[in-house]
Structure 1
Amino acid sequence: MAASVDEFSAPGFAIEAATDPALAPAVADVAAATFPLACPPHSRPEDIAAFIRENLGPANFAAYIASSESEVLVARADDGTLAGYALVHHHAPADADVAAVITERPSSEISKMYVLPGHHAHIRPSETRTAPPSHLLMRAAIDRARQRGSAVVWLGVNQENERAQRFYAKMGFHRAGVKTFDLNGRVEHDYVLRQSLT
């Protein structure tokens, strides 16, 4: 079960807040298909697979959906399938490097936001371009943080992922610092991006 987020829907897609842990396997399928696409080229397949198995499985998403400190948003296509998802955490940063540059409280983190290939730009049969699900998901995630009263929303992006960095800049994020990301024991380097909500 999911609750519609009507103001962030568009022809072809609806953004919904997942409220039923039974939706977790479908979200996990999207996560497993999209996470590898954001990893640096040098990432080892076995490390990616281990991260997905340990962090992006159905049990992980069921826990996030049930948590009062996290929200799972999904982009659902007209045919009922999921086109993407966002995972938002509403709590102070646990990482010391992030806490050093994200000092406002309360704060929210957009921990994950991925869209399946083929849905990054959506063209209707009439050839009229509508808002792609990535934009709708991001706008909805930022709004969720604002509704929680957060003063700032932040996210991490791999320093080699220039495409994602351009998208986040377009959505109003600015570089605030750096942090590391543990990919199954291998250290990756991220930029910390932030957007003020006050």
Structure 2
Amino acid sequence: MVVITPATSRDAEALSILAAITFPLACPAGTPEESIREHIERNFTSERFRGYLADPAYDILVARAGEGAGELLGYTTTIHGVPTDEDVVRAVGTGPVAEISKVYVHPDAHGRGVSAALMTETLDRIGARGAETAWLGVSEFNARAIRFYAKSGFARVGRKSFLLGSEMQHDFVLARPVVTAS
């Protein structure tokens, strides 16, 4: 049984470790290891996760196997608010929207329903906060993730580019409507 709960500051270290394991899996083949390492060191420290957890615009959910404080199987990070990337604004508008910034699951938990459980709860929480559209960016080369997002109701609405280290990366922008709480 997968249990999804909001992350707390006590999860910051485990989130940092899990992010370091899972982020490279989302990068296209050939992405320089140094660029990946620098991104992890800059964005996925336990201190950074504590900052995200303290920011009301962020919503981080964690998945565990069963009740209690077991090892993290995966997590999602949602950022609520108007996108700042011009390509994303053209694709999804200015609101009310929420970005699903991360959907990361430990490779040992792939194929066990963890991603689907996280996505369901994440979309419910996005709707409860009033967003009408959920969007995300996914590498144009990450076929597995693209298939999962399509099964979750997302469709391609645009593209965006960004630097990862010195490498220009290209993502599809995917979006889907969200049922808002009445």
Shorter-chain TM band: over 0.9
User: In 1, are the aligned partners of 2:3 and 2:65 still within 8 Å (CA)?
Assistant: yes
Structure-2 separation of matches of 1:118 and 1:43: 23
Structure 1 gap segments, 5+ residues each: 1-10, 123-131
* d(CA) in 2 for partners of 1:157, 1:173: 11
Deviation for aligned residue 1:104:
5.1
Pairing 1:106–2:70 present: no
Which of structures 1 and 2 has the larger relative contact order (alpha carbons within 8 angstroms, sep 6+)? 2
Distance 1:104 1:53 in 2: 30
With the length of structure 2 as denominator, give the TM-score of the two structures: 0.94
What are the residue-to-residue correspondences of 1:1-198 with 2, within 5 Å? 11=1, 13-18=2-7, 20-78=8-66, 80-103=70-93, 105-122=95-112, 132-197=113-178
Counterpart Cα distance in 2 of 1:146 and 1:22: 26
* Matched-pair contact (CA < 8 Å) for 2:160–2:172: yes
* Cα deviation code 1:93-131 (max 9, x no counterpart): 110100111115111000011000121222xxxxxxxxx
Q: Is the 8 A contact 2:63 2:118 kept in 1?
A: yes
Q: Which amino acid aligns with 1:46?
A: E
Q: What is the Cα-based RMSD across aligned positions, in Å? A: 1.2
Per-residue deviation at 1:181? 2.5
Q: How far off its partner does 1:85 sit?
A: 0.6
Paired with 1:186 and 1:62, the residues of 2 have a C-alpha distance of 28
C-alpha separation between the residues in 2 aligned to 1:147 and 1:184?
36
Q: Deviations over 1:68-110 (max 9, x none)?
A: 1101100011371100110000111110100111115111000
Match of 1:125 in 2: none
Question: What amino acid is the match of 2:85?
Answer: D
Q: Indicate the percent of aligned positions where both proteins have the same amino acid.
A: 41
Using the TM superposition, give the Cα deviation of residue 144 of structure 1 relative to its aligned residue in structure 2, in angstroms: 1.2
> Hey, which bits of structure 1, 4+ residues long, moved more than 2 A?
none
| TM-fit CA distance, 1:185 | 2.8
